[in-house]
Amino acid sequence: MPSPTEISVEQLSRIIGLPGAPTLIDVRPSDGDGSDIDRSLLPTARRMNSEIISNWAQNISGRRVVVYCRNGGNISQGTAAWLRQAGIVAETLAGGFDAWCKANQLQLSTNRLPVRDEAGRTTWVTRSRPKIVRIACPWLIRRFIDPTAIFLFVAPSEVASVAERFAATPFDTGHGIWNDRGDACTFDVMLEEFNLKTEPLSRLAAIIRGADTGEPDLTSQSGGLLAISLGYSRMFRDDVAQLEAMMPVYDALYRWCRDGTEETHG
């Protein structure tokens, strides 16, 4: 039983990927040699240096935070205690990263993670007037990779220049690595490259692939997602507003893919 200031691996694994999930802070000291400690994180986690906590603590004020180190020991517990005295709701992960790995929980590969800006955000750019994948990929990024990510929707002819000027990573544009590969759509590619291929996310990917690639019969849900996506694209002129409005749609689809497929109506 975790203490009142701890959260168990099982408890945390159930809320990662959901709206309102806590901010995850990784305070494992880096070896600086390219070892596993530098290549994988818990999904959405941000690496922070506990030795300079006074420099960054104010940036997470107002959020619920879970801090983890390698084993749930003094580094994470001291960091969480410091945050609590600053008025931040902070817990530690019982057993730390080692316990997370032992339980075979999802680990985010950082090999393809874009460089963060001065505020700690990744910035992405894609074509304007999104329909399916250009909404689905931002949903995946916000829920499993970087909750603070910035998305720029621009004219197709301006993607390359905007990417260069604003240090943004293009996706689903034909530029860079984040594009369709054979039968796989960009969402599939992100699952593969970020090591996020869980059963629920793979099930969601099939729905998205069918809606996005002209195969609405690929899954029973693909045609419905296509219709909903086209409807939203007509409801909103502002692409960012459309993304924000559709986040709950993908939240609901993910929850169905995760633990609702056996339930029937009536």
pLDDT tens digits along 143-198? 999 999 999 999 999 999 999 999 999 999 999 999 999 999 999 999 999 999 99
What domains are defined for the chain?
6-109 (3.40.250.10), 123-259 (no CATH)
Q: What's the CA gap between 149 and 125, in Å, rounded?
A: 11
The DSSP 8-state label assigned to residue 42 in this structure reads S
Region label for 153, one of left (φ > 0), alpha (ψ between -120 and 50) or beta (otherwise): beta
> CB-based contacts of 122: which residues, under 8 Å, 6+ apart?
113, 114, 115, 116, 141, 145, 146, 148, 149, 150, 169
Q: Is 47 helix (H, G, I), strand (E, B) or coil?
A: strand
| Residue range 117-141: mean pLDDT, rounded | 97
Angle between helices 199-212 and 133-140 (to 10 degrees): 160
The pTM for the full model equals 0.94
Kindly indicate the confidence band of residue 18, based on its pLDDT and cuts at 50, 70 and 90: very high
Task: Please write the tens of the pLDDT for every residue from 239-259.
Answer: 999 999 999 999 999 999 999
Three-state secondary-structure class, residue 101 = helix
For the stretch 94-110, pLDDT in tens is 999 999 999 999 999 99
pLDDT at 35 over 60: no
Longest CA–CA span in the chain (Å) reads 57
